[in-house]
Amino acid sequence: MTDLTLVYISLSGNTQSFVKRLSDYLAITHNLTTRQINIKELNHETFPVTEPFIALLPTYLEGGNGVDHGDIEILTSPLGDFIAAHDNAKNCMGIIGSGNKNFNHQYILTAKQYSKRFGFPLLGDFELRGTSADIERLAAVILERQVQWITNH
Ligand SMILES: Cc1cc2nc3c(=O)[nH]c(=O)nc-3n(C[C@H](O)[C@H](O)[C@H](O)COP(=O)(O)O)c2cc1C
């Protein structure tokens, strides 16, 4: 049995690295086992996720500035499709956005949009592969969110 499910997409490996290091950290510090679902490997296949999960989403937008134009999502939409399919959104405890702050207003914009679209909270963010401090910080946020979720369900 796994204690935590992480659903993510990673095109150039940064989010994948974060997920792996986060999982290792949770195993060592909290003895937690994680199930990792990498949407990129699914080739547009979807299936129901019946346990609560956390989504992790990098940002890939075409052009634009995030204010008045340019929020065309490229490459990451299979994660949105996966969450929308089979009513999976109802089991999503929240989303963590990743990106690069050089993109200014577009930083983690897609995760913010998913939060609005599906109605789950944006739990936090990290840049590129994330630092050890990001892992500690976001692990604490995830664990707190899990407790809150269990209390409310
Ligand atoms: C074509 C392209 C567009 C990007 N657009 C954004 C963006 O709009 N906002 C942002 O915060 N990061 C943007 N990024 C940065 C990526 O989100 C960042 O590199 C992320 O760590 C990639 O995750 P991955 O390696 O797991 O795919 C973009 C990167 C590329 C290559």
Average pLDDT over residues 124-130: 98
Question: Would the pLDDT of 101 be above 90?
Answer: yes
Average pLDDT over residues 26-31: 97
Ligand 1 atom nearest to 129, measured from its CA? 21
Output DSSP code: residue 76: -
pLDDT in tens, 33-43: 999 999 999 99
pLDDT at 79: 98
Cα dihedral sign for 134, 132, 11, 78?
negative
Q: What percent of the chain has pLDDT over 70?
A: 95
Output DSSP code: residue 140: H
Ligand 1 atom nearest to 14, measured from its CA? 25
Confidence of residue 66 (pLDDT cuts 50, 70, 90): low
pLDDT in tens, 1-18: 689 999 999 999 999 999
pLDDT at 118: 98
Indicate whether residue 12 lines ligand 1 (CB < 6 A). yes
Q: How much distance in Å is there from the Cα of 99 to the middle of ligand 1?
A: 5
Average pLDDT over residues 85-99: 98
pLDDT at 64: 67
Indicate whether residue 10 lines ligand 1 (CB < 6 A). yes
Mean model confidence pLDDT for the chain = 95
Domains and CATH numbers, the chain: 4-152 (3.40.50.360)
pLDDT in tens, 104-120: 999 999 999 999 999 99
CA dist 77 → 51, 58, 60, 108, 140 (Å): 22, 11, 10, 14, 28
Indicate whether residue 103 lines ligand 1 (CB < 6 A). yes
Question: Would the pLDDT of 98 be above 90?
Answer: yes
- E-state strands within 10-84: 34-38, 53-58, 61-62, 72-73
Indicate whether residue 67 lines ligand 1 (CB < 6 A). no
- Secondary structure of 42-61 as H, E, C letters: HCCCCCCCCCCEEEEEECCE
Output DSSP code: residue 102: G
Q: How much distance in Å is there from the Cα of 147 to the middle of ligand 1?
A: 31
pLDDT in tens, 39-59: 999 999 999 999 999 999 999
